[in-house]
Amino acid sequence: MAEFHYTTDADGVATIIWDVPGKSMNVMSLAGFAELDGFIDTALADPAVKGIVLTSGKPDFAAGMDLNVLARMRDEAGDNPAAGLFDGIMKIHAILRKIERAGMDAKTNKGGKPIAAVLPGTALGIGLEIPLACHRIFAADNPKAKIGLPEIMIGIFPGAGGTTRLVRKLGAMAAAPFLLEGKQSSPAQAKSAGLIDEVSADPLADARAWVLSATDADIVKPWDAKGYKMPGGTPYQPAGFMTFVGASAMVNAQTQGAFPAAKALLSAVYEGALVPFDAALRIEARWFTNILMNPSSSAMIRSLFVNKEALEKGAVRPADVPDQKVRKLGVLGAGMMGASIALVAAQAGIEVVLIDRDQAAADRGKAYSADYMDKGIARKKATPEKKDAMLARITATTDYSALKGCDLIVEAVFEDPKVKAEVTKLAEAATDATCIFATNTSTLPITDLAKASSRPDEFIGIHFFSPVEKMMLVEIIRGKGTGDRAVAKALDFVRQLRKTPIVVNDARFFYANRCIIPYINEGIRMVAEGVEPALVENAAKLVGMPLGPLQLVDETSIDLGVKIAKATKLAMGDAYPDGAVDEVLFWMADQGRLGKKANAGFYTYDAAGKREGLWDGLEGRYPVADTQPDLTHVQHRLLMAQVLEAVRALEDGVLTDIREGDVGAILGWGFAPWSGGPFGWLDIIGAARAVEICDALTQSEGARFATPDLLRDMAASGKTFYGKTARKAA
């Protein structure tokens, strides 16, 4: 079926309409490129056509490229996939260059036909790269539309000319936020930044008028005109040289060299700025091929695009359960967590009843939403009308009878089983038998908490990560007695909040904390051993972790770590393995160094709470050893502490889908995104290499690094997680 449609009118305007059948948003395929190329040829060859308008038949312009396009280019090349990718990318460049030159004479730059792009809504990725090749971009005045090049967020960069064109259009410094950060803008913001040319109430009419009046000079791109100078300067000019030095420093500061796509992008920009435009496109294509051949790129695309999207669309939802959309939500506990859950639910349009023991506490919980909206209004991200409408959806009360009609309860009281049992009974007495009850807990076993419920099949865990309004992952925990309807309800609720869910089975610490806690503990254990704290922290960052383990425990609070340690030791008895960690953690708590919230932890903080540096008092208690381990050894300890728990969670049946393990790790605690997650990383290095690392660590550090049987079996058979052993992998 056709993805593009072509019409002409009596005025001589050819309109090419992009409308991929069966898709809510346009995505570019190989067939689509061929159709677009053919229609451009038709319009340029027709003497009756004076100009061309390219637009969409959908409310949005395009969401990007079908990533299978790149896979096909690679796979169809046989033994030389890099050549196949490069040739395919250069064919795309040729199509867009044809649009850009539009039939004009190579020497005089005259005789071309004006081509305008009309963006009715969102235009991302290739959806902006194609318009950038056109001569003028018109966007509808649609504040909900997003315009940008977000490729860097999934481990690649704009490789269809977007990188080269945007740098030549804006200059390297101005283009950096859009290329290196994946910044997305509203149409008005995009015009102000120079990404597009016009924002219009009737962009199609304005585009038609423009193509009929455009002159030869109007359609020559600056880089094709004689005397072009790049905004901000090129690398061999003084101003441009400083720009590129600064850009290199910024990229390395942000990525610590762990993200290949950022380095490749900067290389394409730097090298491309030294040569003419067409040579720059070839350089861009080479670096784009380089990054597509890097296993990190495939892993990031798989986890952060393909698998994340599949989970958000219900890949693990019970198929035979009808829609469980939440209409009225009860939130028990108006502290920070409960207030935040009420906020995001009200933002999603859900009626919320927020309950606490006294009215003042309930009102403070509702005030959290008011304060949040006030900040949004100050930043012009919200309006007083939106604030009033959202607050009207939240009822703050002490009266449990207000829960009548709720179809979901989320309990967010203290991590005390007795308190949770008490409010469970009160809430169930106030609601009917169709209401699902969810407990928000990060450590307490769901099956045990469900004993307080008269309907354990309707009882489930929903673990929100803090701060709720920013963290995109939600961990749904199925207890031993939890039924499918409760799982479906939780998944549909998370979808309403526009967050990403994973579903795990009940076990101590579930999945996320099961992996996070060993990471923190390994860092603290090394401090006790005399490893330089700065080495521990920097080793983590250099391997792609957003926070070192010491900074992470400061952020989550040291006293919380003490509580978890005591509870875990009580449950495990003599099998408890972390006594060496507790000695450090308990001593820090005794010193009053409880983390960021106390302005004192493993780091020091100024009066405003800004982190200054590692606390030098650590060395008095835990002297730095004369001989330090090498960087790789420290990194292996920190990574394997997390990764082995992920594998064990899969072995134990806590995880049932490796996609959830990878997506959950990246979104939940920031596990080295370049790797695609714990299972993605193991596939990159290979099971045999992983076993080799584990065996060495077991010998030097102890049994906590013992190789799981699953991993050893995979090493023997040569299998990978996303190969034959992947149970539901994309």
Is-catalytic flag, 442? yes
Question: Cβ-count burial of 248 within 10 angstroms (0-12 exposed, 13-18 middle, 19+ buried)?
Answer: middle
Torsion of Cα atoms, 272 then 278 then 281 then 285, to 10°: -120
Q: Which one from 369, 513, 521, 675 is the annotated catalytic residue? A: 513
**CA–CA gap between residue 93 and residue 539 (Å, rounded):** 40
Collapsing DSSP states into helix, strand and coil, what is residue 395? strand
**CA–CA gap between residue 728 and residue 730 (Å, rounded):** 7
Contacts of 293 (CB under 8 A, 6+ apart): 74, 81, 82, 85
| Closest to 682 in 3D by CA, of 657, 724, 728, 719 | 719
Torsion of Cα atoms, 124 then 127 then 132 then 138, to 10°: -90
Collapsing DSSP states into helix, strand and coil, what is residue 343? helix
**CA–CA gap between residue 135 and residue 130 (Å, rounded):** 10
Q: How many CB atoms are located within 10 Å of the residue 406 CB?
A: 25
Are the C-beta atoms of 493 and 341 separated by less than 8 Å?
no
For residue 123, what are the β-bridge partners?
A: 62, 147
> Which ranges constitute the DSSP H helices of 12-112?
30-45, 68-75, 81-101
| Closest to 315 in 3D by CA, of 65, 457, 460, 500 | 500
Residue 665, CB-side half-sphere exposure with 13 Å CA sphere = 34
Are the C-beta atoms of 412 and 337 separated by less than 8 Å?
yes
Looking at the chain, how many residues does it have?
730
| Greatest Cα pair distance in the chain | 87
The token duo for 483 is 């039924």
C-alpha distance from residue 702 to each of 35, 275, 699 (Å): 61, 55, 6
Contacts of 554 (CB under 8 A, 6+ apart): 595, 596, 601, 602, 603, 611
**CA–CA gap between residue 683 and residue 392 (Å, rounded):** 50
Are the C-beta atoms of 446 and 417 separated by less than 8 Å?
no
Q: Which one from 290, 303, 440, 442 is the annotated catalytic residue? A: 442
For residue 595, what are the β-bridge partners?
A: 600
**CA–CA gap between residue 165 and residue 181 (Å, rounded):** 17
Parallel/antiparallel/unpaired status of strands 603-605 and 115-119 = unpaired
**CA–CA gap between residue 272 and residue 592 (Å, rounded):** 54
Parallel/antiparallel/unpaired status of strands 459-464 and 473-478 = antiparallel
C-alpha distance from residue 113 to each of 40, 329, 644 (Å): 10, 57, 60
Q: Which one from 198, 458, 475, 537 is the annotated catalytic residue? A: 475
Are the C-beta atoms of 664 and 474 separated by less than 8 Å?
no
CA angle 323, 329, 331 (to 5 degrees): 140
| Helix 533-542 and helix 512-529, axial crossing angle in degrees, nearest 10 | 140
- Return the active site residues: 442, 463, 475, 513
